[in-house]
Structure 1
Amino acid sequence: MTNKNSLQRRLGIGLTLGVTLLWLFGVAASGLVAQHEMNEVFDSALEETAQRILPLAVTDILNRENGTGNLTAPALKEHDEYLTYLVRDGQGNLLLQSHDADISVFGALPQEGFSNTSTHRIYGASAVSDTLYIEVAEPLNHRHEAALEAGLALLTPLIFLIPISLLGVWWIVRRSLRQVVEFQRSIESRGAGDLSPVEGNQLPTEFEPIAVAVNRLLERLHRALETERSFTANSAHELRTPLATALAKVQRLKHQIHSDALKCNVAEVEVALRSLSTLSEKLLELAKAEGGGAIAQRPHNLAPILAMIVTDFEHRIPGRIVLTLPEGEVNSFLDPDAFAILVRNLIENAIKHGASQEPVEINLSADGTLRICNGGKVVPADQLVQLRNRFARSKTNADGSGLGLAIAEAIAAGANICLHLHSPATGRQNGFEAVLNVAVAR
């Protein structure tokens, strides 16, 4: 579940993005509400300021002698004003202003109520039978600054909440899908020959049908394979005795007849019976290879087994095999009997199809890499791919059943080993090479 289509990844990212978007939407909605409420508060402050200042301004103006007086309200000390005001008559003549007021902000004639300019929010009120007007102005950037600070105050917690939400979502998703991940790993870790039921008792309800379906499929596949293997093994086993009997009788008959032509015919029958006997042996080996049991309970040193098998071949074809073994042990969980069958088939394949004048090189390194190389013509790439299949053979005149590499492939697959076939052989212009690492068998 670590690829791009991982359910755990998709849920984690999707939920995290969803939570983040909801937080941002909530902050945006809260910011709009806060801005609306702040505007109401600021408008109320403008109105309240005008209502408080207007009576004082009227008193000051009416008490002036001969209509003269200071037009600018004195400030107790220098300071910046957020709110500035003007007091004018109905014709727009200035009667009083705050010390920091900018006359250009206000209109030519005073007006009552709220109004906006490009830079200020203005509130106007009148007194003395609409002969005196006060207008209080507030810069809009003051409101914008307040709204921005409120928005930042709402966004700041997200810096901490989003990572916490991310970690929380991932933890919940991982915990919720833990049994699903274990179910996935139990399937991935199985060898090709392991068809036992998969444990799915603790899976979420939504995944239980999958486990049931997988186990049913494994059971059907197990029955089908067991039927095939049983038929192959029984057929090969039952053929051994009658073939051996028929071969013995043909050999006896060959010694009893005197006609050369008849002897030739009997010899051909003998060859055919030997071929059938070899085929039955290979079918029995294939049944064993596909029947599992390629992995042993404990590791074994495979170097002596390889040496023993090569010695057996040396008795039949002396001087043809060149064996290289490491000084130390090569331990592997590959079953010794399965290893013997695998190596025998690879060596037989190299002897039969390799050039007779060139040696068969067998090398087992300390890291468990086994290489079996022979000379001969290069096998085309399209044929090389097919050689792992049953009864598949390259274009050759050598005798064979086409099962040797299929048996080796079945054993390697049962032990989770990758069998590599190369033609030409590594470092050569011709030949054929089989390479596998027995140390990785599990």
Structure 2
Amino acid sequence: MRYQRPKGTADILPGEAQKWNYVEETARMLFDDYRYQEIRTPMFENFDVFSRTSGDTSDVVTKEMYDFNDKGDRHMSLRPEGTAGVVRAFVENKLYGPEHPRPVKVFYMGSMFRYERPQSGRQREFHQIGVEAFGSNEPELDVEVIAMGMDLLKHFGLSGLRLEINSLGDKASRDAYRQALIDYLDPHFDELSDDSKVRLHKNPLRVLDSKDKRDQEIVKGAPSILDYLNEDSQKHFDKVKHLLESLNIPYVVDPDMVRGLDYYNHTIFEIMVDSKALGEGYTTICAGGRYNGLVEQLGGPEMPGIGFGLGMERLMLLMEAQGVKFPVLDQLDAYVVGIGEQTSVLTLQIVQALRADGFAADRDYLDRKPKAQFKTANKLNAQYTITIGESELEKKTANVKQMRTGTEVSVPLAEIFKDFDEIITKYFTDDEEID
């Protein structure tokens, strides 16, 4: 029987995985600059954690969740997104307590799962980098999160970014808009898609996000949420726009943006890019917003929150399409060549000594001839070769060759074991040193 990976998943192979590691480590360093700390939550949660927070009319809950009953007949779900699990952990572990300075800032990385049609940059198992900040309702925090998202994508070398923002207002604003939207859509009820008919009276904002072409034509004339913001909501949104301008971050207001999950309110945003690698026109690469009320939904105190999520698969496709150059992360500092069976123990001792000294080192494990070993060293782009033969064994020396220049010297074995970096400095002073 031939085994294959499940549909909608991918193997991230050596070489490609190094690029992923670079992206993840770059994100970690940037998040540290903004004082965000890592949090790791389970890959599966109680089904209600997601159904309660995402909304029972969202596509995530109604169509895409991988849910199952475990052997204890508990209804569980693989996580379809990162925020709900982080909020659950925030509440359960009482990170809202006085011993945790506010805002509480965290980030996460990991696999998410949604049952949908696999396509470029969108898989059934996908990987997400996200941030969440709890405990502040100030527009300044909204802008910090947006600025960090833009900053992160620029650190990855991406260009042509477009920031779109909107406000969904507070509960009072949303309730007023909800009724106005129902009043507008009711006369078109028979023309709506089946999904939108179900959503109309439960959560009419979901109709605005419909992918059905008939629905999209109908909602073109729908009222705008921005016309229903009350004074406090308008003030919050105006401050966000002013702060973005003060940081010289260009933005576009998109009054039709509602986001795909029900827990958002006030500021929402999407960072988009125009790339054929992700489809025609502008495509979202990073998105998020404020979700005041979500902590209370999961049993915590009143605690505002805001965050964003970034899809790794889409990011990697975009970086490749824009020709982003990844740094060389697999440099081989030294390859130890052994000539003759009697050198085997010594070459193994040398590579282990070099590794203990912080160098990337390797040797032959296939009992190959010297010519084949040198060919391998060259193929692996080794910076140096260290050659041990019968005469070197007798003299207790080794030949060290810098591959880039061809410069070769004979040095005592004791010096290699003591400090290989000193050898490089001493004998190859005019050449580039190993970092």
TM range (shorter): under 0.3
Q: Which has the higher strand share?
A: 2
Q: Which has the higher contact order (CA 8 A, sep 6+)?
A: 2
